[in-house]
């Protein structure tokens, strides 16, 4: 008798489509503009001499530095294996499988639904409006049984921050019912838009942050959850005993030193300049139908014949992130802002695409 191990797996895991990360999708290229990574490596040195001991669960220096950086108290900060682990810890701490639900607003980041499905918690979606802002009446009408509302600002992949007035309203309609989780993975590119200071007025506001984007440390796997100390205390109950290795904590502390933060800010200034170049140049490409404004390190654009564009660029070693399967994003591709040279190579490739003509303005 043969045993099919698949039959032993949980039904929701059998049915699960794992997150299609840029790394999993792979491809061969030399210009990687598909994962919103910082385009160049930033060097760090590590002290690997005391690895016989377990690390601290919440390394003090990292917590103290992130609290200072975000203007909060140390008991309002949790550090984890990337912001992705924060997404999951919240569901594990607040949602009863088979009973509670999470809610999020597509088009948006894909890990909210993957985490819910993996854990076996239901999810509800309320599409963003045409201007990529929240549909508050629809959210208000679907909050029954919802424990967590995930919103992303600036939103991945559309690039826009959410209106602060809408966030106030969202926090009012969820009061006493659900937590609002604002994913600020890209907040360093528009720091004035952060809701971090609101944590002191809204006990049900949670903010997710990461070192993966502006801090140029996607390979480190280090993220932060900011919230009222009661929320943090609950998350500390479900987190692994040693979520970060000693080496990760060591490098995170360096990245969050005064010098590390100053360097990150210089990188952000340079990338924001490159984004302006990229936005302008995309407007002048015949195959581009629409370019969306962005306050993050990526740009979303709608192309005529986006499949052909995507494939042709990939054949030339320029790897982008296809978004056409997301609701409302037919023909859309997300482009991470790379070095100026990478942006120029992309634009040159787009301008020399054969046989793609633009319908706008033609008879
Ligand atoms: C990249 C990203 C994350 C994940 O960050 P990690 O710290 O690398 O896990 C979370 N949310 C959004 C919106 C992202 O784009």
Q: In which band, very low, low, confident or very high, does the pLDDT at 336 lie, cut at 50, 70 and 90?
A: very high
Q: Are the CB atoms for 172 and 164 separated by under 8 Å?
A: no
Measure 193 CA to ligand 1 centroid, in angstroms. 17
Q: Which residues contact 355 (CB under 8 A, 6 or more apart)?
A: none
109, 222, 252: residue to mutate for ligand 1 pocket, most atoms within 8 A of CB: 109
At 220, list the tokens.
């480190």
Q: In which band, very low, low, confident or very high, does the pLDDT at 26 lie, cut at 50, 70 and 90?
A: low
Quote the DSSP letter at residue 132.
Answer: S
pLDDT 10s digits, 53-70: 999 999 999 999 999 999
pLDDT 10s digits, 177-222: 999 999 999 999 999 999 999 999 999 999 999 999 999 999 999 9
pLDDT of residue 363: 33
Measure 210 CA to ligand 1 centroid, in angstroms. 7
Q: In which band, very low, low, confident or very high, does the pLDDT at 243 lie, cut at 50, 70 and 90?
A: very high
Cis peptide bond N-terminal to 295, omega within 30: no
Measure 297 CA to ligand 1 centroid, in angstroms. 13
Measure 54 CA to ligand 1 centroid, in angstroms. 26
Measure 185 CA to ligand 1 centroid, in angstroms. 6
Q: In which band, very low, low, confident or very high, does the pLDDT at 135 lie, cut at 50, 70 and 90?
A: very high
Q: Which residues contact 216 (CB under 8 A, 6 or more apart)?
A: 37, 38, 40, 41, 42, 264, 267
Q: Which residues contact 252 (CB under 8 A, 6 or more apart)?
A: 59, 62, 79, 211, 217, 220, 222, 244
Q: Which structural domains are found in the chain, ordered by start?
A: 5-39+260-351 (3.90.1150.10), 60-257 (3.40.640.10)
Measure 186 CA to ligand 1 centroid, in angstroms. 8
Q: In which band, very low, low, confident or very high, does the pLDDT at 2 lie, cut at 50, 70 and 90?
A: low
Measure 269 CA to ligand 1 centroid, in angstroms. 21
154, 210, 243, 248: residue to mutate for ligand 1 pocket, most atoms within 8 A of CB: 210
Percent of the chain with pLDDT over 70: 95
Measure 212 CA to ligand 1 centroid, in angstroms. 7
Atom of ligand 1 minimally distant from the CA of 218: 8
Find the mean pLDDT for residues 95-124. 96
pLDDT of residue 356: 57
Nearest CA to ligand 1 atom 11: 185
Nearest CA to ligand 1 atom 7: 82
pLDDT of residue 354: 76
Nearest CA to ligand 1 atom 5: 83
pLDDT of residue 1: 54
Q: Which DSSP string do the residues of 304-346 spell out, in sequence order?
A: TTHHHHHHHHHHTTEE-EE-TTSTT-TTEEEEE---HHHHHHH
3-state secondary structure at position 303: strand
Atom of ligand 1 minimally distant from the CA of 84: 9
Atom of ligand 1 minimally distant from the CA of 223: 7
Q: What is the mean pLDDT of the chain?
A: 94
At 330, list the tokens.
């037919």
- As for ligand 1, residues whose beta carbon falls within 6 Å of it are 36, 82-84, 109, 152, 156, 183, 185, 210, 212, 218, 223
Nearest CA to ligand 1 atom 2: 185
pLDDT of residue 122: 97
Measure 247 CA to ligand 1 centroid, in angstroms. 21
**Whole-Å CA distances, 184 to 239, 312, 357:** 21, 33, 38
Q: Are the CB atoms for 190 and 295 separated by under 8 Å?
A: yes
Nearest CA to ligand 1 atom 14: 185
pLDDT of residue 109: 97
Angle at 24 between CA 22 and CA 30, to 5 degrees: 55
Check pLDDT > 90 for residue 15. Answer: no
pLDDT of residue 360: 47
pLDDT of residue 118: 93
pLDDT 10s digits, 137-165: 999 999 999 999 999 999 999 999 999 99
19, 38, 83, 215: residue to mutate for ligand 1 pocket, most atoms within 8 A of CB: 83
At 297, list the tokens.
């390190």
Q: In which band, very low, low, confident or very high, does the pLDDT at 166 lie, cut at 50, 70 and 90?
A: very high
Q: In which band, very low, low, confident or very high, does the pLDDT at 260 lie, cut at 50, 70 and 90?
A: very high
Measure 87 CA to ligand 1 centroid, in angstroms. 9
Atom of ligand 1 minimally distant from the CA of 222: 7
Find the mean pLDDT for residues 243-258. 97
Check pLDDT > 60 for residue 357. Answer: no
Measure 84 CA to ligand 1 centroid, in angstroms. 6
3-state SS of 23-35 is HHHCCCCCEECCC
Q: In which band, very low, low, confident or very high, does the pLDDT at 355 lie, cut at 50, 70 and 90?
A: low
Distance CA 38, CA 32 (A): 10
Q: Are the CB atoms for 145 and 100 separated by under 8 Å?
A: yes
At 110, list the tokens.
């894909």
pLDDT of residue 149: 98
Distance CA 182, CA 168 (A): 12
């Amino acid at each position: 008798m043969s045993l099919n191990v698949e039959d032993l797996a949980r039904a929701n895991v059998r049915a699960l489509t794992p997150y299609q990360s840029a790394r999993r999708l792979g491809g061969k290229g030399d210009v990687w503009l598909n994962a919103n990574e910082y385009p160049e490596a930033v060097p760090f040195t590590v002290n690997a001499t005391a690895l016989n001991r377990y690390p601290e669960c919440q390394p003090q220096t990292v917590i103290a530095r992130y609290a200072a950086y975000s203007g909060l108290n140390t008991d309002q900060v949790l550090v984890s294996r990337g912001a992705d682990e924060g997404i999951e810890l919240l569901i594990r701490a607040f949602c009863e499988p088979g009973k509670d639900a999470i809610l999020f607003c597509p088009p948006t980041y894909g890990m909210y639904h993957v985490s819910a499905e993996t854990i076996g918690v239901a999810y509800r979606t309320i599409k963003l409006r045409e201007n990529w802002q929240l549909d508050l009446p629809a959210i208000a009408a679907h909050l029954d049984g919802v424990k967590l509302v995930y919103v992303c600002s600036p939103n991945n992949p559309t690039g826009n921050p959410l209106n602060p007035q809408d966030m106030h309203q969202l926090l009012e309609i969820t009061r006493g019912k659900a937590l609002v989780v604002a994913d600020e993975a890209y907040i360093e590119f528009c720091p004035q838009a952060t809701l971090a200071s609101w944590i002191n007025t809204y006990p049900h506001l949670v903010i997710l942050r990461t070192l993966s984007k502006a801090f140029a440390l996607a390979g480190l796997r280090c993220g932060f959850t900011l919230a009222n100390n009661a929320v943090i205390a609950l998350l500390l109950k479900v987190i692994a005993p040693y979520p970060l290795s000693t080496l990760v904590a060591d490098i995170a502390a360096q990245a969050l030193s005064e010098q590390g933060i100053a360097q990150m800010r210089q990188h952000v200034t340079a990338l924001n300049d490159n984004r302006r170049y990229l936005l302008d140049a995309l407007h002048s490409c015949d195959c581009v139908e629409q370019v969306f404004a962005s306050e993050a390190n990526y740009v979303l654009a709608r192309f005529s014949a986006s499949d052909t564009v995507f494939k042709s660029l990939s054949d030339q070693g320029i790897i982008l992130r296809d978004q056409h399967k997301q609701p409302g994003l037919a023909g859309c591709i997300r482009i991470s802002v790379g070095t100026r040279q990478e942006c120029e190579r992309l634009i040159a490739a787009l301008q020399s695409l054969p046989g793609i003509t633009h319908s706008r303005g033609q008879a």
